[in-house]
Structure 1
Amino acid sequence: MKKRGLSLLILTTFLFFFPACNKQSSEPPVSTGEKETVVQSIPSETSEEVAGVEDLEKEKDVEKLNKESEEPFPKGKKEGKETVFLRISQDYGAVMLAEKEVPFKPKMSVMDGLNHIFPDEVETAYGGSYVQGMGSLRSQSGGLGKPRQDWFFFVNGIFADVGALDYLLEPGEKVWWDYHPWQMLQGTNAVIGCYPEPFVHGYRGKTKVTVILYCAAEKELALQLATALKNMGVQEMKLVEVTNELLQERAGPTLVVGKWQDLRGNAYLADLNQAFKKNGTFIHFTENSLELLDYTGKKAREFSMGAGVITAFGETAGEDSPLWLVAGVDDEGLRNAVSLFVERPAQISGFLGAAVLSGEVMRLPFTP
């Protein structure tokens, strides 16, 4: 067991690099049903409401779009009872340790759910909210050529900004615990592996409008994403051409779809791409290629044609409006990424991020 002083130093450093969420939006959502309100940050004259998705549904068989997995995660009910879903894994989801729906109870914390699965195998510290050991996997401080390793948890794909005792769950939420190596400056505040979250249940009981941003030439692909999301239970969406302002002031969970050559002129995305060593996406677009990174931020593989990605990014821990990037190095890569999202969503379940090439889905980041 590590000394308490060393554990406190590690926790303090960890909290320094993963600050609590300080970006909230109080703007009301846009309804796709009979009752409608206005999202003030999205001008109505430049946006496409989800009503446009219904036209696409007439042309496409929604069941076919999601035939391989209609439910990457359970929907929060089991035999008529409300539940929450827990996944426990290792090495960024590469090794699955447990997956289970547990009965929901009022004022149920993330720690309560974890103890339901491993009642006598969880070791905590600092008031019981910090998990430093589960089974044989314990926090490691690194050194002598060994990496730091710790337990991290995400709720609905969002890295929590509070401890496991302090996040109170809602029915249907998805909790993912993962034990993995990490670098001090590489912070991952959002993941894709809880899809269709956070688009269905949001974060901390608040579900915001889903915004799909697209380049002018990719409106059809944006509509395909909207159809898939609607089929997964997402109720409120807006489709809008991408602007820097909408990326900086996100009104809710936001997806951006396009080829990198069309997206790179956006200042926000260009800055995000240049911060590849610390933004937690583990990808980097160069002038003519896509680099896929390992967990230390070093290039592991590189592709110049046919590669697409689905990754997520949050400015801080607990951000309820993360940015998802569905992009490609070229037309083929973009189609590959959209096809993965629309037709094979089960294949990204339990992934921090994903790259796709010729049908091969690669887990991000790469690990030894």
Structure 2
Amino acid sequence: MKIARSLGLFVALALVGTACGKSSSDAQKPDALPQLEVQTPVVDDKKQEAEPKSQEQQATPSEKNASDTQASSESGKNPSASTANSARSGGNGKSSNGGTSGAGSSNGSSNGNSASNGTTSNSSGTNSQPSNNSTGATNGNFELSVTEYFGNNSVFNEPVAVSTEQSLLDTMRDHLDIETAYGGSFVNGINGTKSGYTSKSIFTRKKRDWFYYVNGSVSPVGADAVKPKPGDAIWWDYHDWSGDGSSTPSVVASYPHPFTTGYNGAQPGTTIYFSGDHVSDANRLANALRGFGAGNVSTAAYADGSVAHPSTNVIVLGTWSELGNQPTMQTLFGSPTHTGLYAKFSGDNVQLLTYQGKNTDQTGLGAILATGSNGGGGSTPTWLVIGATEAGLEQALDIMIARPGDLRGKVGVVVNGSNVLAVPVAQ
């Protein structure tokens, strides 16, 4: 009996010792091996990039060195757009290392992107090669022109098919090598020419940007927000805007736009205000515009108040001796870097100015210039066809009536005989 008890006690102690030697995890292991489960990654083929914002929306105030559709001053006015790309916006152009080349043959000049102002450090996307996958039905063409240094260098100039499903930015990618910034809607570079400063020195560097204009007016939105229409003329130019230069709301580059069709299809009509006894000259120009396809063109004797607050497109026609003392004319020509009127009348000559409003030694006899309503923006640009002399006025009229192509790709022009000199003067 004692032997049986001792044997039972030994067996019990052995079982307890075995259990104490196991870890808690070992004690919970199942007898069978666990089944192996493998999870493969899931690829979301439907994932898309966030919808790009307009060129102005993309950049914060600190990011836009000067934001004001396809271009503005470094002190905070942006185009580009810009520029605006610039003018500023459109545009909305820029070259942190100084651009691609110096000015080429002198044959043109300057909207962004409107769009202006960005820096290469914010570049967010590059198309290494132009794509050829345009989608959407086409309906006619629009004119796409890309230049550098106020039109002196031609990069691209072709009619492009309008697509109902593509923005201007999409279409540009089909034909050009585009680099973007601020989320993908701000054009930061075209064919390798990028936005930025030409050097590190604050004493010598220049800020260069891409600006673009639609039918002669700087665009207030990014290129991703513009849908070109058949017959539109869209011009991008890469140029300096250091300091106060190149705040240009309107250009002559797309003539006979904006008188045939303005920005976003606007057709407010046109009033030609003539000075002195130039009524016959005004009628000649009115007939020419009608022949180009402009509607609702009228003429009237110059009235300073009507020009200052226009409800239509405006053309001021006359000689400087008749117009120079008018308050509106003095205001417009008193701040060329704000109005974009890069010319100065003095005696029997018109002096060409730089984009910073500085004098040059180049002169002419007449000028064809454009600015926004009352010198600012707006959908009713004001054009000035003014002669320093009667002969200069006649030369300017000849271009408007018989040689409209001479204005293509230019911010404005000064006429000297048969020569058409682009302003501002690129430096």
Question: Fold-level match, TM-score > 0.5?
Answer: yes
Normalised to the residue count of structure 1, the TM-score between the two structures is 0.76
Following the alignment from structure 2 to structure 1, what is the Cα–Cα distance between the partners of residues 213 and 304? 27
- Deviation digits for residues 293-342 of structure 1 (CA, Å, limit 9, x no counterpart): 01221111354xx6000010115775210111000111111111111111
Secondary structure at 1:217 match in 2: coil
The reply on whether 1:326 has 2:381 as its aligned counterpart is no
Where does residue 84 of structure 1 map in the other structure?
A: 142
- Deviation digits for residues 74-95 of structure 1 (CA, Å, limit 9, x no counterpart): xxxxxx9511110011111111
Following the alignment from structure 2 to structure 1, what is the Cα–Cα distance between the partners of residues 287 and 297? 10
The reply on whether 1:17 has 2:77 as its aligned counterpart is yes
Following the alignment from structure 1 to structure 2, what is the Cα–Cα distance between the partners of residues 301 and 343? 28
1:8 to 49, 53, 63: 63
The reply on whether 1:112 has 2:167 as its aligned counterpart is no
Classify 1:82/1:19 alpha carbon distance in 2 versus 1 (closer, same or farther; 3 Å): closer
Q: Which has the higher contact order (CA 8 A, sep 6+)?
A: 1
The residue correspondences of 1:288-327 to structure 2 (distance < 5 A) are 289-301=349-361, 303=363, 307-315=365-373, 319-327=378-386
Supply the AA of the counterpart residue of 1:134: I
Secondary structure at 2:265 match in 1: coil
The reply on whether 1:148 has 2:204 as its aligned counterpart is no
Following the alignment from structure 1 to structure 2, what is the Cα–Cα distance between the partners of residues 5 and 238? 44
The reply on whether 1:243 has 2:303 as its aligned counterpart is yes
1:212–1:222 Cα contact (<8 Å) kept:
yes
Secondary structure at 2:339 match in 1: coil
How far the C-alpha of 1:252 sits from its partner, in A, is 2.0
The residue correspondences of 1:207-226 to structure 2 (distance < 5 A) are 207-226=267-286
Normalised to the residue count of structure 2, the TM-score between the two structures is 0.66
- Deviation digits for residues 139-179 of structure 1 (CA, Å, limit 9, x no counterpart): 01344212111111000010011111112222211110111
How far the C-alpha of 1:132 sits from its partner, in A, is 0.8
Secondary structure at 1:246 match in 2: helix
Where does residue 132 of structure 1 map in the other structure?
A: 188
RMSD: 2.5
Following the alignment from structure 1 to structure 2, what is the Cα–Cα distance between the partners of residues 104 and 326? 33
The 10-residue stretch of structure 1 (84-93 or 281-290) with the greater mean CA deviation from structure 2 = 281-290
Secondary structure at 2:307 match in 1: helix
Following the alignment from structure 2 to structure 1, what is the Cα–Cα distance between the partners of residues 304 and 273? 10
Following the alignment from structure 2 to structure 1, what is the Cα–Cα distance between the partners of residues 377 and 229? 16
- Deviation digits for residues 260-305 of structure 1 (CA, Å, limit 9, x no counterpart): 11011221111111112432121112355422101221111354xx
Structure 1 gaps, min length 5: 22-79
Following the alignment from structure 2 to structure 1, what is the Cα–Cα distance between the partners of residues 365 and 388? 6
Where does residue 179 of structure 1 map in the other structure?
A: 238
Instruction: Give the number of aligned pairs.
Output: 303
1:20–1:317 Cα contact (<8 Å) kept:
no
Structure 2 gaps, min length 5: 1-58, 82-137
1:163 to 212, 222, 228: 222
- Deviation digits for residues 53-77 of structure 1 (CA, Å, limit 9, x no counterpart): xxxxxxxxxxxxxxxxxxxxxxxxx
Following the alignment from structure 1 to structure 2, what is the Cα–Cα distance between the partners of residues 184 and 109? 32
Supply the AA of the counterpart residue of 1:308: G
How far the C-alpha of 1:111 sits from its partner, in A, is 1.1
Following the alignment from structure 2 to structure 1, what is the Cα–Cα distance between the partners of residues 361 and 319? 19
Q: Between the two proteins, what is the percent identity of the paired residues?
A: 28
Choose 1 or 2 for highest CA Rg.
2
How far the C-alpha of 1:12 sits from its partner, in A, is 4.2
Where does residue 281 of structure 1 map in the other structure?
A: 341
Runs ≥4 residues deviating over 3 A: 4-7, 11-16, 18-21, 286-289, 315-318
